[in-house]
């Protein structure tokens, strides 16, 4: 197994990544590590902000209260962005086989989407704990494309990426790929017989975080109160 760390990986980030891959890491410590990785991503994202950008963070349900919340909290603390919006997807999976490399789709079962400001430039950050096939990222990005302006920028962010996943995603969006930026701390180039990335994020993220696909994240419950009562 070989892992390549990027220029964004500090010693602290490396420790957090190791915490994820260590099988003995308990659930609470794993959750904290994901949250802190999100906090670490926030300033790097902030460096890419334009004047008066609205930050839109798109995540999947399992990442909402940890990795995505870290980015949200870190971005709110920095006060770089005028507004921050969260979009959370509940995806299911259909596939021709059990391997992650088998042809698959990630249809959206449910979506939480805060209203985007129509008169602002957006920086969309699609965040995922790990990007391998890119199926879910692709699905959720496609879902949001119509909400973006032609000159909005997109960052695809993950602590770990499977080698080549970024090229595959760019290939899937030829019209938009010049607006993509990828942000990650590590690249892995090995997978197991099921197509899971090694060392990746230490296995099945649902098991490691001890969450199910049917949860309602706390960040969604908290944030929606302000939008549901605003109107």
159-218 binders of other proteins (CB under 8 A): 172, 213-214, 216
The end-to-end CA distance of the chain, in Å, is: 52
Q: Quick one: which of 104, 180, 195, 203 contacts other proteins (CB under 8 A)? A: 104
Contact stretch for other proteins (CB under 8 A) within 1-9, 29-37, 66-74, 98-106: 98-106
**Closer CB to other proteins, 24 or 229, in the complex:** 229
Question: Smallest distance, Å, CB 68 to other proteins?
Answer: 16
Residue 227 engages other proteins in binding (rule: CB under 8 A): yes
**Closer CB to other proteins, 95 or 177, in the complex:** 95
For residue 149, is it left (φ>0), alpha (ψ between -120 and 50) or beta?
Answer: beta
Please give the angle made by the CA atoms of 218, 26 and 77, to the nearest 5 degrees.
45
Report yes or no: 114 and 98 within 8 Å, Cβ to Cβ.
no
Close Cβ partners of 183 (under 8 Å, ≥ 6 residues apart): 8, 41, 44, 45, 155, 156, 157, 158
H-helix segments, 153-210: 165-172, 205-209
Residue 60 engages other proteins in binding (rule: CB under 8 A): no
Interface positions with other proteins (CB under 8 A): 90, 92, 94-96, 103-115, 139, 142-143, 172, 213-214, 216, 221, 224, 227-228, 231
């Amino acid at each position: 197994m070989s892992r390549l760390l990027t220029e964004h990986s500090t010693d602290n980030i490396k420790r957090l990544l190791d915490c994820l891959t260590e099988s003995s890491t308990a659930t609470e410590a794993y959750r904290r590590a994901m949250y802190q990785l999100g906090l670490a991503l926030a300033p790097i994202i902030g460096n890419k902000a334009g004047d008066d950008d609205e930050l839109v963070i798109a995540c999947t349900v399992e990442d909402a209260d940890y990795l995505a919340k870290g980015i949200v909290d870190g971005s709110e603390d920095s006060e770089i962005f005028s507004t921050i919006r969260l979009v959370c997807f509940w995806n299911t999976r259909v596939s021709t086989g059990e391997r992650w490399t088998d042809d698959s789709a990630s249809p959206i079962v449910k979506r939480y989407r805060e209203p985007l400001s129509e008169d602002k430039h957006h920086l969309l950050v699609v965040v995922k704990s790990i990007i391998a096939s890119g199926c879910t990222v692709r699905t959720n990005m496609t879902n949001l494309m119509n909400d973006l302006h032609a000159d909005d920028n997109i960052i695809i962010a993950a602590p770990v990426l499977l080698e080549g996943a970024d090229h595959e995603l760019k290939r899937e969006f030829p019209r938009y790929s010049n607006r993509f930026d990828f942000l990650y701390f590590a690249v892995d180039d090995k997978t197991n017989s099921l197509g899971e990335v090694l060392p990746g994020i230490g296995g099945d993220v649902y098991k490691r975080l001890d969450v199910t696909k049917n949860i309602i994240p706390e960040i969604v419950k908290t944030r929606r109160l302000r939008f549901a009562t605003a109107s």
